Structure 1
Amino acid sequence: MSKFRKKKKETPALSTASLPDIVFMLLFFFMVTTTMRETDLQIDAPRLPSASEVKKLEHKSLVSTIYVGKAKDPKYGTGYNKIQLNDKIGTPDDVPAFIINEREKVSEAEIPFMTTSIKADKESNVGTLTDIRLKLRDVNALKLSLSTQKGSTIKK
């Protein structure tokens, strides 16, 4: 009788051979699609003015960005005239030091191609923008870009 005894069928073990492939595929996907923010915005995200003629900046590694808008932290005061240089709130008098610091990060051959981009809220004071432009002129940073969003400037 022992010859005809039925064997208990066990469920086969789950194969984990493809698990490392799946994990590395997901890891690679997230590494490719994730962008790292260089600076933490300490001002509210600027609502950019609209413009009809918009051109994209090339060589984004050679672009230094100055943010102008309303500070998130009330200790800096109210109003749309706050300037963020890298990760701190500054004044127009801090702009030349910021530009000199940015120039030290690139090679001497690339300095003429550096561009300063101003991302200013559409409620920002024109006087603040003028002060920044004058300080940029003092350090011979004459390539200036004003960031906008694409759209019509004509109100209907």
Structure 2
Amino acid sequence: MPMNTGYRKDKSTGSEEFDEVKYKSAIGALLYLCNNTRPDISASVSILAQQTKGPLNRDWVEVKRVFKYLKETIDLKLKIGYEGDNKTDVVKVYADADWASDLQDRKSNSGDCIFLNNMLVSWQCKKQQCVSLSSTEAEYTSVSRNWFVI
């Protein structure tokens, strides 16, 4: 896992502030990677990028965890090119959301990826604009953002 699943809930460890310039530099490098070659870290980077003002040591520990994940999964690659004998184009869209994961504003994070003939052509991970009242509504909001793309 590129990020500890209990990161947002655990506020007890590492309450000292960390160097903001070093933290922003690391987040910038991770943003470049997730936008260009490694969509698998998009959710983690999106969550960590929200802490750029006054980051704590616990935030830096999670950034280092993402870099460790990248080092351990260096052989993962995006596939580019047509695959298979099927002559028709097949579009698949996958979307997911976590309901009210941000404990301060109760907004959900959502992510999605679009495949064309088993080739990843688009991906995104971002915080939703609205507050969902249920996990179903968070999922529906995540999926509804993609219908205009297809």
When the two structures are superposed, what TM-score results if normalisation uses the length of structure 1? 0.23
- The structure with the largest alpha-carbon Rg is 1
Q: Which has the higher contact order (CA 8 A, sep 6+)?
A: 1
When the two structures are superposed, what TM-score results if normalisation uses the length of structure 2? 0.24
